[in-house]
Structure 1
Amino acid sequence: MSLNACLLNPIVQQVLCSEKDNKSQDSLLFWLFLANQNYYIELNRNWAGIKKGQSLQLSAQYFAFGQNINSSFQWSSSDVSVATVDQTGLVQGIGNGKVSITASSRDGRASAESSVTVYSGYVYTTLNFDNSVAHLTMDENSGVLTVNGTTSVIPGSDPNGIVTDPSGKYLFTGNFASGNISHFLINQSTGALTANGNITAGANPRNLVVTPDGKYLYLASEGTQTIRAFSINGDGTLTFINSFSTGIGHSQIQISRNGNFIFYLSPNLTEVVSYRINYNDGNLTLVGTSPSFANNGSGSIATHPNGNYLYMGSFPSITILRFDSNSGNISFVDSVLHSMSINGSIVHPNGRFYYTVNINNLSISGYTIDPYNGRISLFQNLTGFSGSSLRFIIIEPSGRYAYVADNSGEIKHLSINQTTGELTFVGSVNPGSVQWNLTFL
């Protein structure tokens, strides 16, 4: 802890500003407080992605006043249905989802967490011209995708947005032409889809997001200029909750990393607004509006894994915003000239790289992220996608491979340099037709 941060701590302030007759006692408390800040644990991995059924070895080191101390640790999992951990730090992937693995010192003075995502290795993509969803499997070693098959949606539905629930049991598509959401069951052994009904969703439904607990789904209903809220039932169907007017018909919608807020564009397209999710009933309340920024209508918002930064794919400049995950307030950090229209964007799981899909420029850009302030610097503009209509990008949870939907061609497969973030084109795969969006499970 720095001296300035220490002095800003209310506990320290109380000690330093205490009455003189308590000087001896408070001085002791003060030094005890400082001493406690010098005990910490370092993990070999602060984040990781592992395939269901596989394992990952975590290790920890315990430091006191900068010195490495030989110590044993108490290991624990925040959700043993997702991943377990033994007392050597060996993590075992059990079921789809995200989990925190914690190492605590035996003396109770320090702890550290690793955020682990357990995945199945499936890619699902909406084939909007074919009115179907394609199911592919990722090779764990090469990242190459193998097409398993397609599942029909409603004829003439034009499926656009696609999302799975965190447990990997259900999949949903926003059907732009037919004005509904289709439900699918996911086979837990093969990943195959089974149609599970539909629900009315207003005119021109687009992208969808699901809360981390799998309780609620939120839809960008472009034609009705609303966000529509649904509860997810135990059988994988949806129940409509409410509709929230946004004053703008937009395709993009995002959810905060802690799952407590929805992000959307303001009616004039030049601010990001945040809505707090009421977990008792799924309703939304507008709580924050960002400072204004120049924009031509692009609404792609990427969130940083630490939950503190939003990357707005605005035009002509990318806007970086700081987000208060407690209050929902949004403040300005920086603006970086990009001069290309962004359709999709994503932050790497390690939080060090930000990527944009430049829909009109047939390219993908890569930026490094400053870990101290969230600012970005361009390091790559990957071209060579002539004839494509690149839409959305996903990165599999281990951070090695990225996949891009192409509405004029095949899914693009990219490898990611783990040190520099550089993208390398690996190849393409035809899932059966052109794609609008895609998701990884």
Structure 2
Amino acid sequence: MSKLKYFLIGLLGMAFTACAQKESELYLFVGSYADAADTGISLYRFNTDTGAATLVKEVSGIQDPSYQAISRDGKFVYSVSETGESDAKVCAYSFNKDAGTLTLLNEQKTEGSAPCYIWVDSQRRMAVTANYNGGSISVFPISADGTLQPAKVCAYEGGTPGSERQAVPHLHCVYASPDEKYLYANDLGTDRIYKYELIASGSGLNLKEGEPASFSLPAGEGPRHTVFHPNGKRAYLISELSGRVTVLDYDNGNFTPVQFIEADTLHVSGSADIHITPDGRFLYASNRLKGDGIAIFSIDPADGKLTKTGYQLTGIHPRNFIITPNGKYLLCACRDSNAVQVFEIDPQTGLLKDTGKDIKVDKPVCLKFK
């Protein structure tokens, strides 16, 4: 074979390698607690083969961007500004994936204090925030150009007089059923999951109160975040106050509890987030305030019930965490350690191993891939 052929083959091999490396990279968005003048959203390229991250962009100009939602087509990013009643808002950004840049499109007030979570439907017709101190959710129609229209607010009542954490409603999470026929809102303050039907109307989307309007949980649970199993037959709820995971059978919009199991055995009312591996075999739940770490469970493939199999200590105050689409890594935002920890997942046991490849970020709270 001539030297020219060797050279051309080498170039071809390098091209294939470059493509493979590019395909293994995702954008990682990190939302933080930060002053508007400081970096609030950090954008990285994350290699899902090696677990390495490279900083691409830092975005300022937004106060406490503690949670983001990214449109399914990857063209738009929506971020809450988790502040007080008068200035709490949502910011809409366009995202240029080729350049790795975010451009502010517009802002809308939530009219509800401390928006801590945001959801966007798959066709980008509606954004909804959970307003923790506002005791409400805010519903924003989304225009064709990605901008947000003014919000309609759904406020709630109830609570336990004299209770430190449950005297009033505290909405903490909004999420849809896998088929997006229903929308749910978890209320830590009243131990309820509110249910709505998602109704398509022209190019838009509307909410209709569900039947039933809500599901009640045992007193003192404090429901926080929920994740559906990949098979769509079950959902798993982490409750902040009880520190328990509730296994919920799911059928045509309705939830039926079938198991309660402890994630926080120290009972310090600091459970935070919950996620499942893409293959549906393992579930993880983060706990804060004492014994900071992640509880690890195996999922029974027959009935979806959980067995606790381990516990991984983390940095201080683990909040949101995320699992790579290939199921190889779990990344955990440790707010008070100013770091995103990168753990490798054992594919056989689900146990976690700290890779030592921490991503240094001030007060990280939310992690999203695209």
TM-score for the superposition, normalised by structure 1:
0.68
Among 340, 343, 346, which residue is 1:414 paired with? 343
Q: Secondary structure at the match of 1:333?
A: strand
> Partners of 1:291 and 1:201 in 2: how far apart?
26
- CA offset at residue 424 of structure 1? 1.1
> Partners of 1:418 and 1:312 in 2: how far apart?
23
In structure 2, the partner of 1:319 is 246
Question: What are the superposed Cα offsets for residues 136-170 of structure 1, whole Å, 9 maximum, x if unpaired?
Answer: 1112420211111211133xx22111110011001
User: Aligned letter for 1:139?
Assistant: N
Residues 371 and 418 of structure 1: CA distance in aligned 2, closer, same or farther (over 3 Å): same
Aligned residues: 322
Structure 1 alignment gaps of length 5 or more: 1-52, 56-92, 94-117
Among 116, 120, 123, which residue is 1:210 paired with? 120
TM-score for the superposition, normalised by structure 2:
0.80
User: Aligned letter for 1:254?
Assistant: Y
- CA offset at residue 432 of structure 1? 4.0
In structure 2, the partner of 1:299 is 224
User: Aligned letter for 1:337?
Assistant: E
Among 107, 118, 134, which residue is 2:42 paired with? 134
- CA offset at residue 119 of structure 1? 8.9
Residues 424 and 269 of structure 1: CA distance in aligned 2, closer, same or farther (over 3 Å): farther
Contact preservation (8 Å) 1:415, 1:425: yes
> Partners of 1:224 and 1:336 in 2: how far apart?
30
Structure 2 alignment gaps of length 5 or more: 1-18, 158-168
Question: What are the superposed Cα offsets for residues 408-439 of structure 1, whole Å, 9 maximum, x if unpaired?
Answer: 12111111122221211112434542212121
Among 67, 72, 92, which residue is 1:166 paired with? 72
Question: 1:273 and 2:194 equivalent?
Answer: yes
Question: 1:435 and 2:341 equivalent?
Answer: no
Residues 433 and 384 of structure 1: CA distance in aligned 2, closer, same or farther (over 3 Å): closer
Root-mean-square deviation over aligned CA pairs? 2.4
Contact preservation (8 Å) 1:262, 1:277: yes
User: What percentage of aligned pairs have identical amino acids?
Assistant: 20
- CA offset at residue 365 of structure 1? 1.1
User: Aligned letter for 2:350?
Assistant: G
> Partners of 1:245 and 1:384 in 2: how far apart?
36
**In the TM superposition, what are the counterparts of 1:26-425 in structure 2 within 5 Å?**
121-131=26-36, 132-154=40-62, 157-177=63-83, 178-202=87-111, 203-240=113-150, 242-247=152-157, 248-266=169-187, 269-280=190-201, 281-288=205-212, 289-290=214-215, 292-314=217-239, 315-324=242-251, 326=252, 328-338=253-263, 339=265, 340=267, 341-360=270-289, 361-385=291-315, 388-408=316-336, 409-425=338-354
Contact preservation (8 Å) 2:46, 2:54: yes
Structure 1's consecutive aligned runs of 4 or more residues displaced over 3 angstroms after TM superposition are 266-269, 288-291, 428-432
> Partners of 2:43 and 2:323 in 1: how far apart?
16
Contact preservation (8 Å) 1:160, 1:206: yes
- CA offset at residue 293 of structure 1? 2.4
Q: Secondary structure at the match of 2:173?
A: coil
> Partners of 1:316 and 1:223 in 2: how far apart?
21
Residues 428 and 232 of structure 1: CA distance in aligned 2, closer, same or farther (over 3 Å): farther
Contact preservation (8 Å) 1:368, 1:377: yes
Contact preservation (8 Å) 1:119, 1:397: no
Question: What are the superposed Cα offsets for residues 222-246 of structure 1, whole Å, 9 maximum, x if unpaired?
Answer: 2332111112222221113522223
Question: What are the superposed Cα offsets for residues 244-267 of structure 1, whole Å, 9 maximum, x if unpaired?
Answer: 223322232222222222222357
Residues 293 and 415 of structure 1: CA distance in aligned 2, closer, same or farther (over 3 Å): same
> Partners of 1:382 and 1:317 in 2: how far apart?
17
Residues 267 and 345 of structure 1: CA distance in aligned 2, closer, same or farther (over 3 Å): closer
